[in-house]
C-alpha cells in the first residue's frame, strides 16, 4: 500500500520485539498525549509520545506499562492510534507538538480525526515545519485533498501520497510515533568524554621491547602503552624473521635490543608529539 504503510508495519514489528507491545485491536494503540504528572507538579512518569500497554481501567484511570515503568494515568491524558497513522483525540496544536518530537524525518505524518466535526479528517505532515491539509469526504464515501484526485479509502490516499507528493509539501514517509517508544534527541545527550594524556616516545622505557613475552608480560600492564599497541608490537616482533627478529632487527638487537624512535613511529603510525588516548 505504499512506503508509508510498509514503514509502519516494520516499525510495529520491530517495536514488538524490543519491548512490551502496546494495546492493539479495536481500541488501537494507546499513547501519552501530554506529560503526566505535569512537569510543574512533579517529575513526569510518562512523557508525551510514549506508547502504553493497558493493564486495567477503572473510573477514568488506566493502569499502564511503558518499558519498565508501571503506574496509573488519567484516560484523558492518552490518545489512540489506528492503522499506525490514524490519530484520535489529537488537536491541530497537539499534532504539531507530536510531529516535532525528536526523531521524525521529512514526510513524517498523521491523519487525525476532527475533534469538532464527526467524520472529518486532516492530514498533518512534517517537513522542517508542520503543514496541515483538510481531507474532504464525498457523498459516495471517497476522499480527496485536491479535487483532481479522489480515493476509495484513507488507506488508498496514504498509499498514493507515500509514492508522490502531488501537491503536498513532500511525500509521506513514516507515521508519527512510528517507533515503539519516544525517541531521544541525540543533541540533548552529553558528548562523550575523551581523555588524552601527553605522551613522548623519548621518555618511554624500551627495555621491554626485546621480545613478545616481555611486551605481553603482567609487568607491562602499567606501561604508558595500551595493551592493544603492545599486542601489535608483539606480533611485529614475532613475525620478523627467525627467533622473532629480521636481519635488521637482529642487528639492532646486537646494539642493545632497542628499537629506534623512527621505527616505533612506523609501527604505530603516529607522529612525534601525538597525544595517545589514555
CB atoms within 10 A of CB 179: 18
Q: Are 93 and 102 in contact (CB under 8 A)?
A: no
| CATH number for the domain formed by residue range(s) 3-183 | 3.30.505.10
Strand order in the sheet with 51-58: 69-74, 61-66, 51-58, 29-32, 78-82, 86-88, 108-113, 121-126, 130-137, 143-144, 150-151
Nearest one of 199, 261, 20 to 252, comparing CA atoms: 261
E-only strand ranges, the chain: 29-32, 51-58, 61-66, 69-74, 78-82, 86-88, 108-113, 121-126, 130-137, 143-144, 150-151
pLDDT at 198: 55
Q: Are 198 and 275 in contact (CB under 8 A)?
A: yes
Structure confidence at residue 14 as a pLDDT band (50, 70, 90): very low
Q: Are 48 and 97 in contact (CB under 8 A)?
A: yes
What is the percent of the chain with per-residue pLDDT over 70, rounded to a whole number?
Answer: 54
- Tell me the pLDDT of the chain averaged across its residues: 73
Domain boundary assignment for the chain: 3-183, 201-268
pLDDT 10s digits, 189-244: 444 444 445 556 666 666 666 665 665 565 555 565 655 566 667 666 666 644 44
Phi-psi domain of 248 (left: phi exceeds 0; alpha: psi -120 through 50; beta: other)? alpha
pLDDT 10s digits, 55-87: 999 888 999 998 888 999 999 999 999 999 999
User: How many whole angstroms from its chain centre is CA 88?
Assistant: 26
256 membership: H or E segment, kind and range: none
The reply to whether the predicted model has a pTM over 0.75 is no
pLDDT at 250: 52
Grid coordinates 508525551 are at which residue? Answer: 48
Amino acid at each position: 500500500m505504499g512506503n508509508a504503510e510498509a514503514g509502519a508495519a516494520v516499525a510495529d514489528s520491530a517495536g514488538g520485539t524490543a519491548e512490551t507491545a502496546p494495546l492493539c485491536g479495536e481500541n488501537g494503540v494507546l499513547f501519552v498525549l501530554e506529560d503526566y504528572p505535569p512537569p510543574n507538579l512533579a517529575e513526569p512518569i510518562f512523557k508525551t509520545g510514549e506508547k502504553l500497554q493497558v493493564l486495567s481501567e477503572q473510573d477514568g484511570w488506566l493502569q499502564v506499562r511503558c518499558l519498565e515503568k508501571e503506574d496509573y494515568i488519567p484516560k484523558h491524558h492518552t490518545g489512540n492510534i489506528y492503522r499506525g497513522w490514524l490519530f484520535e483525540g489529537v488537536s491541530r496544536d497537539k499534532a504539531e507538538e507530536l510531529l516535532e518530537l525528536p526523531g521524525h524525518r521529512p514526510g513524517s505524518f498523521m491523519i487525525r480525526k476532527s475533534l469538532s466535526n464527526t467524520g472529518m479528517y486532516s492530514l498533518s505532515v512534517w517537513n522542517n515545519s508542520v503543514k496541515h491539509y483538510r481531507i474532504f469526504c464525498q457523498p459516495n464515501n471517497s476522499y480527496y485533498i485536491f479535487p483532481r484526485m479522489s480515493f476509495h479509502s484513507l488507506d488508498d490516499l496514504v498509499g498514493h501520497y507515500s509514492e508522490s507528493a502531488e501537491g503536498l509539501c513532500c511525500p509521506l514517509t513514516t507515521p508519527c510515533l512510528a517507533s515503539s517508544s519516544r525517541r531521544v534527541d541525540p543533541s540533548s545527550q552529553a558528548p562523550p568524554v575523551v581523555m588524552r594524556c601527553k605522551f613522548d616516545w623519548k621518555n618511554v622505557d624500551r627495555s621491554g621491547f626485546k621480545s613478545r613475552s616481555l611486551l605481553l608480560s603482567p609487568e607491562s600492564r602499567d606501561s604508558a602503552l595500551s595493551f592493544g599497541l603492545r599486542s601489535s608490537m608483539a606480533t611485529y616482533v614475532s613475525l620478523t624473521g627467525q627467533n622473532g627478529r629480521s636481519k635488521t632487527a637482529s642487528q639492532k638487537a646486537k646494539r642493545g635490543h632497542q628499537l629506534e624512535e623512527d621505527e616505533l613511529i612506523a609501527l604505530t603510525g603516529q607522529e612525534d608529539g601525538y597525544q595517545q588516548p589514555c
